[in-house]
Structure formats: C-alpha cells, structure tokens
A and B are shown apart, each in its own frame.
Chain A
C-alpha cells in the first residue's frame, strides 16, 4: 500500500503516512560507521598500551593487555572470577531491588501527606546529601563486613534517587487530569490507579534508570572498604600485591557489568516511553 492518499478524502488535519522505501544500508549507514570507528579506537588503545608497556612506562605500574588477558584466563579457569563476580552481582541486585521498592513506596506515601512532606523535606535532603561512602563505617558496625553491609550501602543510594524522582513525578501530575477523573465520578482508589500511578510512572522510571549505576557503585565501594570477596575485594587484594594485571582484569569485568546494566536500562526505558506528556498546553 504505497499509494499516496487522495487529498480529497483526507482532512486537512489528518496525519498522512507514506511508507519510506529505504535500503538496509541507507537506514543503518551511520550506525555501522560509528560501530566501526569504535572498534578502531579500541584497537588503537590496546596496541598503544601493549607497545608502551615496558619501553615507555614501568610494566609493574600499567601491566599490559596480554598480561591482563592471561590473568583473566587464569581466574576464569580456577573459578575466582565467577565466584567474585557472582557475589558482586548479587549485592548489586539485592541492593537495587531493596532500595527501589522502598524508595518508590515511600515516594508515593509522602506525597499523599503534604504536611508531612513539608516537615520532613530538609531532613530527607540532608540524608540524601551525605556521601554514601561516609556511611560505610557505620554500616560495618551495624551489619558486619559480609554481604548485608554492601546490600545496605547500595540500597541507601538507590532509595534516595528513586524516592526523590517518584515524589517529583507525583507532584508533576497536572491537577486538571485529576479534576477530569473526578468529573467522571472517580473515587480515591480510581484516582490513585488511573491517574496518580500511571501519571508518575515517568518519574519512577527516571529514578529506576539513574539509580542502576549507583547500585553498582555502592556495592563496590562497600567491597573496597571492607570485604573478603567480590570484585572490589579482588581489586584491593591485587593492588596490595602490586599485581596491576589483576587490578585491570577486575576493572574490565566491572565495566562489562556496568555496560550490560546500562544497556538493559536503556532498552527498558525505550519500551516504556511510547507516550510522553502532552506538548505544552495553552
């Protein structure tokens, strides 16, 4: 159906859509170029690293791509890599879910009590502003140096980000939408489920999205401060033995995890963003 609609049968304000016939190359050309350039940048960086390591910079300081690769292979073979990665992922996931759920619930609750929100606002902002690393020693006293302390540290950051964004999302709902629903005869429950929840979803999703990397940061910082397992521990331990290849190997695994998390979040937010708030109402 590529025929252009007859102008007499469409209204002036109808949206006329005509399929665009483009070849695969025309559609994806710029994407392919960008990906290729990225591969080139990566290759150049690795080669430069390999060549400079030794002749230019002390190898014990910067290691080299081949050494790092050997380290990864060794750790992978003896299970060190998987065990510690799994621990870190578990901390991140638990901390994220814990912080996100409590943050979203608290965000909805506080906005339904306007006075309470005003009273608590400076306290919440005060707690939010504390660098979460500074809480690590306290959490060690409370929860020990095991998994729990990392989960709590990750959750503490995620909580505030989700909480603040959720509360913001609820406050940003156009009161005219609530009025419109009231005139349809909506009761409090209808208002909550048909206007407030869906209307604040973009805020909640923003909170969920921006807090993902912070869950990882929280968990790794917890591991760096005090632990005997996890990728943060691996970094600390390798560094204390002047094993820079080990440090880089662990860092690479961390950045792969971070990249996967970010990619997942991007995919999710694309799927949920078909609607957006209406363009500026007069």
Chain B
C-alpha cells in the first residue's frame, strides 16, 4: 500500500524543488506567507509552553513540528469555509484567522476561547477524538443545500482513525458527496501509542479506498505539498467532486501535552534527529536561500512583528475580565429552565453576588 500511496512532495529536506509542476505558482509572496505563518505559530506554541511552565496557562497541547501541515492546509481555505479543529490545531485556526488572545484564553480554562471572531466559521476544538468529522460532513451537507461553493475541513490525528466517528464521518461525506477535506496529521503517535499499534494498515490514506474517496499521502513537513494538495481537494469539493482524505505525514517534537513525559514511550534523541532532518521551517528557509528569497532584514522585521503580536495577545489574555459566575448558568439553554435557575439562586445566596 505504501507503494500505491507514495508520499507527495514539492520540496525535499534540503529545500530543493522535486516537482517542477508547481514552480510558477510558488511566488515570492506565497513563500513568504508560508514562512511568516509558520514562524508565527511556532512562536505562539513555544510561548504557550513557557506560560504553562510559569503557571500562567493550564495544560497545553503543543504542535511544534506540525507547522507545515497546519499552515499549508489553512492557507488553502477560502474565508467562507468551515474549520473543525482539534485541540492541537491552533496553528491552523490562527492561520485561518482565529483571535490569538482568545486562543490563549482557551488554554487558560476560559470558554471565551471557543467563541470565534464574527464571520469566521471555526468550530471549537474537538476534545473527544474524531467526533468533529461527522460535524464537518453535516456542515458541508448544509452548504450543499444552500447552494454555495463553501467547503469544510476537519483536522484529526492518526489515533482518530481508530474511532467509529472517523468512519461514520467519511462514509456520510462519501455517500452524500459533501464538500469536505478530511485532513489527517499523522504524527506517528497517539499520546504514547505508536502508529504500528494503532493500525495494521500501512497508510491512513488507503482507508479512503473503502469509501471510494480520493486520497493522498503528502509530506506533512513540506508546506508547498500540503498547500497545493489541499487546494486541489478543495477545488474538487467545490465543484461537486465530493470529499478527499489527505494524510499529512509529520512529527510532533514535544509531548502530547504539557502534562505528559514523552521520554517514557519514545527516544527523544531520535525525535531530535527527525527534527534536524525534516523541520518544516528550516526547509522553507533553505528553499528561500537557494532561490535568493532570503532577506535577513525582512526576516528580522517579521520576527519582531510576530513577537510583539504575541506579547500583545498575552497581555490581552491576562487583562481579560475575570470569569463571570453567571456564565456558569446562563448558556445552557436559550431560556433558563427552573432547575438551573434554582441552583443559580442557591449559589448566589451562599456566595453573594460579585456584580
């Protein structure tokens, strides 16, 4: 099966073009946009871990190493498309336009972090694994009924492919030819369980055969490969060609979450070797240098902008008004029901009102 699903790549580990077909579309603007967004989300991610260590954020799920998969796929979307992420896809949602301060807020235990910017169709991160796949199929079926060209993308990891909802989501999208991209980031591990113990299948992509659905394996550390293949799937979806499964092969450098120690289940020095060989940012840097697009001044300025944006977002997150206890009770139903009203009153009788 690995032979039937070769890994699609546009630039290799040294930043060399391996597929000339896309050369013309790889404009300087696009390359810089990729690099900027990957630097931005990596900085966001590292900052989140550091904030967690300082006790300024709760448990956090880092994505460092997966930037090409997240940026490439998110930049392929149009503004009216739907995004159904997991808790490890903030790189994708930030690239798509999620508010950064609110993204940090989510990891600070604040529900406000799930409220998207007006007009941005971003669903809150799915925590129960694979449950978002049928949602993406449903949102896409709704777009079909509205007669739009909008599509949906669902993000999920390799572990998610073992869940029933993975198959139910793919099957629905396939039966109804819904405009969905099922974007799998195969990072080799579901917390501690390696892919070999997750599935006997040699690839994730082959699972699409069962649904008669186009699928492809891409080098998930090659932002160009991810971007152009996601675009292709989206174009097909918008034109009635139904869903696509993309398996982006990538690697998570760090822990599953800040509450986990990866040295218990994998050799982190091997992980470091993968990082040295495959890093998605380094690869674009090499490509830029080879093609005389690397401009130290632009890079320095860009890094400065990213740093100050992130500092600003953290300030905003920390200055956010403290949580309102009314919110504990007021959003369960549109109109309150008596048991909740009674419990709310009892709470305030005991604790007093703050406002």
Binding between chains A and B? no
Chain B residues engaging chain A, CB cutoff 8 angstroms: none
Chain A residues engaging chain B, CB cutoff 8 angstroms: none
